[in-house]
Structure 1
Amino acid sequence: MAIRKTLIAAAIVSIAGTAFAAPMMGNPVSMSKQDNDRLVSTLNGERGKHGLDADHGYALGSQHPGANGHAINRVHHTYKGVRIFESESVVVTDKNGAIVSEAATDRRGSLSAKRFDVKPTLSGNDAIAKAMKSLPSTAAHIDPPSAELIIYPVMKTVRVAGAENKAEADLNALDVQDVVDSYQLAYLVKTRMSKGQEAVFHNTIVNAKDGSLMDQWNMVQSIVGTGHSQYNGDVPIQTTLVGTTYQMLDSTRGTGGQFGGMAITNANHASTSNPTPGVIYTNSTNVWGDGKNYISGGSTTNANGQTAAVNALWGLQNTYDTMNNVLGWKSLDGNNTATYIAVHVGTAYDNAFYTDTCKCMYIGDGSSFYSLGSIDVIGHEMGHGVTAATSNLTYRGESGGLNESASDINGEAVEAYARNGGTGTVINAGNDWMMGKEISKTGTPLRWMYKPSKDGSSLDAWSTSLKRLDPHYSSGPNNRMFYFLAMGSSATTTSDYYSKYLVQAPKNMTGIGIDKAYRIWFKANTTKLTSGSTYADARAAVIAAAQELYGVGSKEAKAAQRAYAAINVGADIAE
């Protein structure tokens, strides 16, 4: 990943460290068509610097508010008008439209030299039919399938100069890089289906010339395995009074969306084969829930049935407030678009998931687990919404692990903020650094941030095998990085907090606190990472974000470098 910074950005670095507690983001972005056209024209004018001809172009994907009135623009790279998969730029512009900084994953390579043909043999419907043959025939569509024509770079991993003779076990993440091996014209087919209570969400790459399946990955981004809340005692929740009836509709957080505000709805055991949200929770009084786990088979609307909704609304409000009050980031997309959470989905359903089709969340009642609406799970699922709206990290390989880690990080930050009262502009420690401990009937969490390998499947450090793991397990090293960045490590070799990769002084690196660590990670994810980012890219992005926020050579920037070194991504440095 290439990251460039103009003189304007360098000037920002010199003052950013004095105002870290102020909100990072601004108001929702409203750039005019003229501004957008000017940005694309500016980028096109720089094609020569990259050795690109007029067949190459740019297409604006999304925009979000940035710091100091800036706008964060995600721009796709195109060739003859067709999007190049995972080749994109994140361009930050000031209020006048001038480019402040740019991060890019550039996979355009030698397309012009190859005179690449962008005329498909198959139609989009043909590609969908091909993809469907690889999926369960009994699954039912939740949303209509889609097919987008793309140029698909086929990647291979090579060793960099100087690492050719290293033993596999001795490789560092910076010893290898992914390069383009070839290009194929393809369709990105998105299918969102369900089979019984199983969500069957997949993205499939279908060759647009011969119909062969080139790649496929699972898109279920989930946790597997005064209201009276189940996990947090009596908590304040924001509701709306309509006539004489109270609704679980929070119109003070978020605008628009399906319900006109942040809402909690009752799926009322609707099958995941048809996960409609149901209706907004209502009550004759403004006291909700009984604080107890849902009794399977019971009413979903009485006090016991309302408890899951209380859990969800308190979690949603705290997640919104964490990002808004601390960072100035409003809702999932930064533009304050309201979302909703549907509870009681399925029957004894052991899952909670975010889906990009409705940009919303569904929470199951659990069977092996208690009700899945704990604060860290809600923060985790809403974190998927932030990533989907910004970096859109592809849910496979190393980028998939970073995607899951971004949600785990969000869950822990939200838990810490909520545990300290859910107010103010700073996050203080108060989380347990374990994902899903409260929902576990055995007390064993789903994941340990500080020692991921305790779950028996996750890795503690980067290795070449990382990209072959499920994203819930390839997230491990980045989770550990975040823990070390926030809380530091131990020099005791038998400790769960020890890293053999920290070889400089002191061997127990010093953390910078969860508040600063969260700001750095969030800035990296929303302004620098792209869909195909690797662990090496994440290191560069996090170090750059730390430098921009706190200064080059700052203790925060050094801690970022050490935290990645601790998971075998880059070399260690002395504090």
Structure 2
Amino acid sequence: MRRSRIRRLSVALTVTTATVFSAVPALADAPSPTDARVASPVDAARAAAFAHSSATGVARGEDLQPVAVMSDPDGKQHVRFTRTVRGVAVLGGDLVIHLDRRGGYLGVTRAASRAVKPTLSEPQLTAAQAEKKATRAVHGTPSGTALVVDIRDGSSALAYQVRVTGATTGGSASKTVVVDAVTGRIRSSTPNGDGFISPSLAETLRKRGEAAHPKTGIASAAAGGAAVAKPAAAAYPKAAKGTGRSLLAGKVSMTTTQTARKSFLLKDPTFWGSETRDANGQELKHFELGTAFTSTSNKWGNGKTSDRASAAVDAQYGITKTLDFYKKTFARNGINDDRTAAHGMVHFGEEVGNAFWDSGCACMQYGDGDDTFTAPLVALDVTGHELTHGVVDATAKLEPTRTDIFGTQYGEPGALNESLADIFGSGVEFATNNPDNPPNYLVGEKLGLAQTFLRRLDHPSLDKLERTIDYWSAPVYDAEVHAGSGVSSHAFYLLAEGSGKKRIGTVDYDSPTYDGKKVTGIGRDKALAIFYRALTRYMVSTTDFHDARIATLNAAKDLYGEQSTEYKTVDRAWAAVNVTAANAPAPRVAPAANGH
């Protein structure tokens, strides 16, 4: 599951070369699109946004804050913005401006589905009063409050965005609560913890009296990881080749940091210092507070939970393999594409049967298990799934439309987020190709569930735990996010592998279609390229399944052409899960949070 979090109004500009710049001041007034000073992609895109205000929804008096600039080989540019009004952030105001190679306007992808003019009014509540309402709703302590304009539900409302830590409702210890600054109504309440195990799944397993028992231990010889060339008498610290005995991935090669002749850290300098530490049974919110894993031999773990380093081997292996997948497959340098480290903390908390991505500390957090999940959730696809939430958070920031008092999330944008995490998580498995963790289109097959998997992409409804959905229908708009994720996951599988019976590796698949018509796949590599490009260029925080169809069609057109087999197969794959241009719903108002 994803998290949303209070963000600074000042943001960094990230470009495809991974150079990070200081925040670029937004312009209070629209620049002329013919102004000679408009030269950079950001300036050209900002000028185009104002010049084409009827399409973009951007009006004078608003500011555009650049988030990322993406450049294509053919010279086209895509500039992602957030909006502010007199310095106040606009929730649901994110957009991407598309430019041709000369800086001319091509189009826009925008979160606000209708023309909503963000307005500022006088708040009737103080920040302290809003914090009191937020903490009363989720039972915690406020740790940051900002005034915002919320246009996510199709109208404009002044609100306070309150981050609450230590929350005791809804399955997450941290939440972001949006409180209407005029009425005091709770507009939304979103967990800030990306838990792999949802509150509804945990409750289903408890009601069934079912526990998950993963098989752990060493199964084969060393797998994965390229040898690091031994430099001649290099100064410390330096990269070193080590080996790890994991709980779930077998014996693996690892790149570590050597700090002295017989001193090593579980820290990979080849991936920007990505590191795993020990949380020592505490729910630490800052990675620096964790205890570093060290070794005198550069051998880590024993394949059993009796050695605290064993879970750390799985975590570090999963983190670096995920980063390696994104780097080699998409030339993405880290979660935020800025060459910064990703971190992991194992032995997180007490009786925690879950794993989380926390973008606040840019780290994974792995519990040791509980009565239901009896071992650490450190499987490769778990890490690939959760770190992909980080990638989504750094790009489209897909968010659920609502969250109930138990922390269960609903809505198509959130379901799409979960689906992308499953899609790219399986991509990590295929790229890693570890015989002790064979790649497949199953999710959570290492958890030890009686069902033998948590979700699967080829035929989602075979999952009876989360009741995942095969095809789109109107009620999917408000489906639980993991259940709803099946729609786009199924479309991806059909795009990659096609319909019908198929054996891939050690798994048999049989993927149905809504209309009973055959789909012939284009291959996993092309399908991944299309979905990644759609995510980074054509998706925004409110993208639903019909929007995702358009996004992937645009991506396929960019990559392969509008008359290509790939483009036509994208259209066919979505039709096969009942997502078509003909049944696209009219813009809707999102349900109120928590029944309000």
| TM-score, scaled to structure 2 | 0.75
Identity of aligned residues (%): 29
Q: d(CA) in 1 for partners of 2:415 and 2:116? A: 29
State the one-letter code of the partner of 2:17: N
Superposed CA deviations along residues 525-571 of structure 1, whole A, max 9, x for unmatched, are 11110001111101100111111111112111112111111221116
- 1:231-250 matches, cutoff 5 A: 231-243=248-260, 244-250=262-268
- Judging changes above 3 Å, is the alpha-carbon distance between structure 1 residues 364 and 66 closer, same or farther for their aligned structure 2 residues? farther
Q: Which residue of 2 aligns with 1:205?
A: 178
- Judging changes above 3 Å, is the alpha-carbon distance between structure 1 residues 273 and 54 closer, same or farther for their aligned structure 2 residues? closer
Q: Which residue of 2 aligns with 1:425?
A: none
- Structure 2 stretches lacking a partner, 5+ long: 1-14, 25-38, 203-242, 402-410, 503-507, 583-596
CA contact (8 A) 2:519 2:569 kept: yes
Q: Which residue of 2 aligns with 1:499?
A: 512
Q: d(CA) in 1 for partners of 2:498 and 2:336? A: 31
Instruction: State how many pairs are aligned.
Output: 489
The counterpart of 1:315, out of the listed 301, 315, 318, is 318
Q: d(CA) in 2 for partners of 1:271 and 1:527? A: 35
The counterpart of 2:65, out of the listed 30, 48, 60, is 60
Query: Does 2:442 match 1:452?
Result: no
Q: d(CA) in 1 for partners of 2:394 and 2:295? A: 33
State the one-letter code of the partner of 1:519: A
State the one-letter code of the partner of 1:377: V
Query: Does 2:288 match 1:282?
Result: no
Query: Does 2:93 match 1:87?
Result: yes
How many angstroms does 1:247 deviate by? 0.1
CA contact (8 A) 1:86 1:107 kept: no
CA contact (8 A) 1:40 1:58 kept: no
CA contact (8 A) 1:520 1:545 kept: yes
- Judging changes above 3 Å, is the alpha-carbon distance between structure 1 residues 45 and 485 closer, same or farther for their aligned structure 2 residues? same
Q: Which residue of 1 aligns with 2:17?
A: 27
Q: Which residue of 2 aligns with 1:544?
A: 554
Q: Which residue of 2 aligns with 1:171?
A: none
Q: Which residue of 1 aligns with 2:532?
A: 522
Superposed CA deviations along residues 247-287 of structure 1, whole A, max 9, x for unmatched, are 01111112xxxxxx101011111136888751221111111
Where relative contact order (Cα < 8 A, 6+ residues apart) is larger, the structure is 1
Q: d(CA) in 2 for partners of 1:252 and 1:327? A: 17
How many angstroms does 1:210 deviate by? 1.8
CA contact (8 A) 1:197 1:272 kept: no
Q: Which residue of 1 aligns with 2:245?
A: 228
The counterpart of 1:432, out of the listed 427, 436, 440, is 440
Q: d(CA) in 2 for partners of 1:435 and 1:190? A: 31
Q: d(CA) in 1 for partners of 2:566 and 2:513? A: 21
Superposed CA deviations along residues 210-249 of structure 1, whole A, max 9, x for unmatched, are 2112233334322115111222221111100112310011
Q: Which residue of 2 aligns with 1:400?
A: 414
Q: d(CA) in 1 for partners of 2:490 and 2:146? A: 37
Q: Which residue of 2 aligns with 1:409?
A: 423
Q: CA RMSD in A?
A: 3.2
- Judging changes above 3 Å, is the alpha-carbon distance between structure 1 residues 478 and 40 closer, same or farther for their aligned structure 2 residues? closer
How many angstroms does 1:87 deviate by? 2.6
- Judging changes above 3 Å, is the alpha-carbon distance between structure 1 residues 31 and 98 closer, same or farther for their aligned structure 2 residues? farther
- Judging changes above 3 Å, is the alpha-carbon distance between structure 1 residues 279 and 564 closer, same or farther for their aligned structure 2 residues? same
CA contact (8 A) 1:434 1:448 kept: yes
State the one-letter code of the partner of 1:510: T
How many angstroms does 1:29 deviate by? 3.7
Superposed CA deviations along residues 18-57 of structure 1, whole A, max 9, x for unmatched, are xxxxxxx942145684847624641354145549685453
Q: Which residue of 1 aligns with 2:212?
A: none
The counterpart of 2:191, out of the listed 191, 199, 218, is 218
Q: d(CA) in 2 for partners of 1:206 and 1:413? A: 39
State the one-letter code of the partner of 2:391: V
State the one-letter code of the partner of 1:74: R
Q: d(CA) in 1 for partners of 2:170 and 2:579? A: 39
Q: d(CA) in 1 for partners of 2:515 and 2:159? A: 43
Superposed CA deviations along residues 367-398 of structure 1, whole A, max 9, x for unmatched, are 33332111100101110100001000013411
Q: Which residue of 2 aligns with 1:152?
A: 151
| TM-score, scaled to structure 1 | 0.77
State the one-letter code of the partner of 1:284: T
The counterpart of 1:251, out of the listed 269, 272, 288, is 269
Q: Which residue of 2 aligns with 1:390?
A: 395
Query: Does 2:338 match 1:335?
Result: yes
Please state whether the residue corresponding to 1:237 is helix, strand or coil: strand
Query: Does 2:433 match 1:419?
Result: yes
Please state whether the residue corresponding to 2:300 is helix, strand or coil: coil
